[in-house]
Amino acid sequence: MTAPFGSKLAEKTAQRGTLCAGIDPHPGLLDAWGLERTVSGLEKFALISAEVLGAETAVVKPQSAFFEAFGAPGIAVLERVITLCRDAGALVLLDVKRGDIGSTMGAYTAAYLSGDTALSADAVTVSPYLGFGSLAPAIEAARAGGRGVMVLARTSNPEAAELQNALLPNGKTVAQSIVDQAAAINEGAEPLGDVGVVVGATVAPGELDLDALNGPVLAPGFGAQGATVSDLRKLFGAELRGVLPASSRDLLRHGPDPVALRDAVRRTQLLIRES
């Protein structure tokens, strides 16, 4: 029987720390690494990143859009990244932010969570803004296959507040409603549930009540976007239980030298653990 994603995540982070390392082949990073903005440049960037990050961190988060930008050859590189990271012992959280209804959501689920395609990951990011219930196919498939979903709740981009902090008739914000619905699914799971939420590390403390979530929290915005370990503790509590601080550019800027990239990862892990 396949172990639940929450259990696998807790075990892996206990071994390797909680840092979630992103692989974002942004054109500017390709330039900084001295690589061409071609599939060949993408491949070199992505494979070096995967070999280092997959061996050092508990969770690696490839950003699908930067691979999709190169068409089918870029998707082929993404498939290799997923395999490399998993073979190196990391869990792969594929950042695709998919969200739709009915059979379309079912098709996204088949692509990323079924286990039958080269794009299947250990977890994916999903958008609930067609209604949390629209995510049912993804959540059901993920839980059945020992995989997870990370639901966008309160993101750090400035445009998000207008929608995510809007008040519902019950007096809760949209973001809090998303957290509460995830918490209901995770209730009773040990050590963590399989349905996480995405909450930006730069969000103001006190906006959300995460006490009952009992699931992972992906916290982008750590590092290059300005959030510190102190900010994380103010927002999520001193123990940072289930929190995955996510960093991409702040790590990747140390490439293409694999040793420098590895050392940056280790420094960041130490900072999270000891600060």
Q: Are strands 20-23 and 59-62 parallel, antiparallel or unpaired?
A: parallel
Domain boundaries, the chain: 5-16+96-274
For residues 223 and 41, what is the distance between their CA atoms, to the nearest angstrom?
A: 25
Q: How many residues does the structure list for the chain? A: 275
> Residue 27: left (phi > 0), alpha (psi -120 to 50), or beta?
alpha
For residues 175 and 217, what is the distance between their CA atoms, to the nearest angstrom?
A: 13
For 37-71, how does the pLDDT look when each residue is reduced to its tens digit (9 = 90+)? 999 999 999 999 999 999 999 999 999 999 999 99
**Is residue 44 flagged as an active site residue?**
no
Q: Kindly indicate the confidence band of residue 184, based on its pLDDT and cuts at 50, 70 and 90.
A: very high
pLDDT of 30 strictly over 90 = yes
| pLDDT attached to residue 275 | 76
Please tell me which residue in 8, 12, 97, 234 is annotated as part of the active site. 97
pTM score, two decimals? 0.97
The residue among 261 and 157 whose pLDDT is bigger is 261
Q: Which CATH class name applies to 5-16+96-274?
A: alpha beta
For 81-93, how does the pLDDT look when each residue is reduced to its tens digit (9 = 90+)? 999 999 999 999 9
Closest by CA position to 121, among listed 67, 79, 182? 79
Residue 63 DSSP SS3: strand
For residue 158, the 8-state DSSP code is T
| Helix or strand run (H / E) with residue 43 | helix 39-56
